[in-house]
Chain A
Amino acid sequence: MPKLTINGREVEVPAGTNLIEAARALGVEVPHYCYHPGLSIAGQCRLCMVDIEKTPRPTIACNTLAADGMVVLTETERVKETRRSIMEFHLINHPLDCPVCDQAGECWLQIYYMRHGLYDPRMTDEKVHKPKAVPLGPHVILDAERCILCSRCVRFCDEVTGTGELGIFHRGDQSEIGLFPGQELANKYSANVVDICPVGALTERDFRFAVRVWYLDVTKSVCPGCARGCNVEVHVNRRRPHHNEGRRVARLKPRFNADVNKWWICDAGRYGFKAVDDKTRLREPFRREAGTVTDASWDEAIAAVAGALERYAPDEVGVLASPRMANEDLFALRRVLERRGIRRVAFRVPPAVDGDQDEILIRADKNPNARGAELLGLDGDAAALLAAARARQVKCLWIFDHDLLASAWPEALVLGALGAVETLVWVGANANATSERAHWVLPAAAWVEREGTYTNFEGRVQRLRQAVEPLGQALPEWEILGRVLEALGAGARPPRAERWFRELAAATPAFAGLSYQAIGDGGQMVRA
């Protein structure tokens, strides 16, 4: 453990730590472009120069390992002058198109220019022109003029995905980032190059010109796209509703979690938020009788559901929970089942196509909380439940979120079961072919509109946080189930997701000792 002094303060860091990370441990920022903790060291940008005692010249911090007794100074006049000169060099051919650049506002070139720049450029020659607005693949667009050739994107494709689509071509001031011939930047993690690009050279096609970044509000959350549960930031646009065609969620960005997703997220997860502002979203509870739809209030809907649960014998009720529901929802559902003694419950519906999986992040199970549903004891035989409905043993079927008609089950069997039940209750956020056949449809809040927790495949419990208000009258499932529980005479329901979780942690051994405080931003493992 080398002990060194940075700007007069002592710090002890693990052996092999470079000076950027050592300074970061002290809260000292060393400006840099090409260094990224998730990638190899390139030493391309030369911006991270620091003064080290007994060395004659400033040295790059990214490629200098902390050593015992080292004395480092990051803010001397010589270092500042070096940074200013390097900034000037980077800006020689950088176009002044910040007004049209999507990166403006979160651009490190802008930030360090404002901090260290020479405000009056000495460069009078014509800038070198390079291709602009070139699509590299389905998600990424390149502006070669804005590129400062830090090579982070090249290293990402070489080292993280191993696909190697990108390279730096030509020499000197003609150098530019580009695709190898015949290649397309279409790997499953391609949009991560946008996040790591310190300037506006690589931007997202999906987010292009949608919203200026300074209008966005950020909420920490978890991606619901697969069992990995990558940590994300949800960027929502509440201040300028006329932008982005009124869609509230503008984009997702990965959030660093050393134990789950590091710095990355897959493209399927990144662009999986479209359902939130989709036109299939349900806004009001309604009932369907003989094909006619009538709007209903929540009180009527809850009374109808509770009435059905009481009217039928416990054995005549089947519940198909969803592994897309949060732990709190599933626990509230378990309470309802326990109250009525309902035994027919399941949550696994086989998908029509098997999910893809890889060694990086993507999991075959595309549900965020299958492990949580297992731990809460809701696992059962879904196919048997469907068969019982077909055989008219189950008269009331309560489905959460699933679209059985899009599953691997044959359509005729599903339609037979859905047609056979007397009461079909469906709860979910987006209408689908199954909800089209339900007698009662209850709108649930989408994952960005509510609080909750998911348990990922490893057993890590992670928090969802509310980024926007629910659409229309939609409610989180724990609230819907809490109201049903009250209507069944169970007493006052917990008013918040956190209180539901507290009850869940007290009642379930796997979750014992967990709380929202303990989970924090990084998540906590369940027991065993």
Chain B
Amino acid sequence: MRALQRFYLVEVLSGVALTAAHFFRNMGRHAAHALGKKDARGAVTIQYPDERRPYSPRLRTLHRLVRREDGSPRCVACMMCETVCPAHCIYIVAAEHPNPEIEKVPARFDIDVGKCVFCGYCVEACPEDAIRMDTGILEFSSYTRGGMIYTKEALLALEPAGPDGHPRSPIPIPADRTP
């Protein structure tokens, strides 16, 4: 530690000077922008959640189960995602499908998002392209652990994100959380 840093007042003043410099520089830019100098751009705050940054198309967000044309899940309960999942957060129980060409469907398909590490291996492993992480939904929180478990019905109801990467389906809010 340098000798000068040992004096409290010197460091406080240098900090205040730094903040003040940013403040006045941005104020000047905003003023110039308002007065017609359009290439002067001050720092802005994004008014989240009303405003959002554009998301990368590769962003991994809340999972969804892809539907067949009749609305049933494309998933055949092969357990590849459950097997590859490093967080052990996928719980599938298989059942018989009436059509022997499909043969197998999930009776239960739960993802415990509280355990999920968003690695995307489930999407990679899926031989049926039945699970994707493209909903654009990032805001899932709950006051309980149970609220973090998304069931087959909830995951099937989700839509892919829009072209800007923003969610198109409503954020599934658990019952214990009021918006």
CB <8 Å contact, B103 and A132: yes
Shortest distance from the beta carbon of A388 to any chain B beta carbon, whole Å: 53
Instruction: Answer whether residue A29 sits at the interface, using C-beta atoms and an 8 A cutoff.
Output: no
| A: interface residue count bin | 10 to 19
Q: How far is the CA of A212 from the CA of B83 in the complex (A)?
A: 9
Instruction: Answer whether residue B79 sits at the interface, using C-beta atoms and an 8 A cutoff.
Output: yes
Instruction: Answer whether residue B78 sits at the interface, using C-beta atoms and an 8 A cutoff.
Output: yes
Instruction: Answer whether residue B121 sits at the interface, using C-beta atoms and an 8 A cutoff.
Output: no
Interface flags for B119-156 (1: CB within 8 Å of A; 0: not) read 00000000110000000000000000000000000000
Name the A residues within 8 Å of B83 (CB-CB).
Answer: 212, 214-215
CB contact under 8 A between A100 and B100, given known A209-B94, A242-B91, A243-B93: no
Name the A residues within 8 Å of B104 (CB-CB).
Answer: 100, 209
Instruction: Answer whether residue A25 sits at the interface, using C-beta atoms and an 8 A cutoff.
Output: no
Name the B residues within 8 Å of A99 (CB-CB).
Answer: 76, 78, 80, 127-128
Shortest distance from the beta carbon of A399 to any chain B beta carbon, whole Å: 39
| B: interface residue count bin | 20 to 34
- Residue in chain A with minimal CB distance to B103: A100
Instruction: Answer whether residue A97 sits at the interface, using C-beta atoms and an 8 A cutoff.
Output: yes
Q: How far is the CA of A132 from the CA of B103 in the complex (A)?
A: 9
Shortest distance from the beta carbon of A241 to any chain B beta carbon, whole Å: 10
Instruction: Answer whether residue A240 sits at the interface, using C-beta atoms and an 8 A cutoff.
Output: yes
Q: How far is the CA of A97 from the CA of B77 in the complex (A)?
A: 12
Query: Which residues of chain B from 58 to 103 have a CB within 8 Å of any chain A CB?
Result: 76-80, 82-83, 91, 93-96, 100-103
Of the candidates A98, A99, A132, A243, the one having the most CB atoms from chain B within 10 angstroms of its own CB is: A99
Shortest distance from the beta carbon of A237 to any chain B beta carbon, whole Å: 12
Name the B residues within 8 Å of A100 (CB-CB).
Answer: 76-78, 102-104
Name the A residues within 8 Å of B100 (CB-CB).
Answer: 131-133
Please list 20 pairs of residues, one from A and one from B, whose beta carbons are closer than 8 Å in the complex, sorted by A's number. Answer: A97-B103, A98-B78, A99-B76, A99-B78, A99-B128, A100-B77, A100-B78, A100-B103, A100-B104, A104-B78, A131-B100, A132-B103, A209-B77, A209-B94, A209-B95, A209-B104, A212-B79, A212-B83, A215-B83, A242-B91
Residues of B within 8 A of A (CB): 76-80, 82-83, 91, 93-96, 100-104, 108, 127-128
Q: With A132-B103, A212-B78 given, can you name 16 additional A-B contacts, CB distance below 8 Å?
A: A98-B78, A99-B76, A99-B78, A99-B80, A99-B128, A100-B77, A132-B100, A133-B103, A208-B96, A209-B94, A209-B95, A212-B79, A212-B83, A240-B82, A242-B91, A242-B93
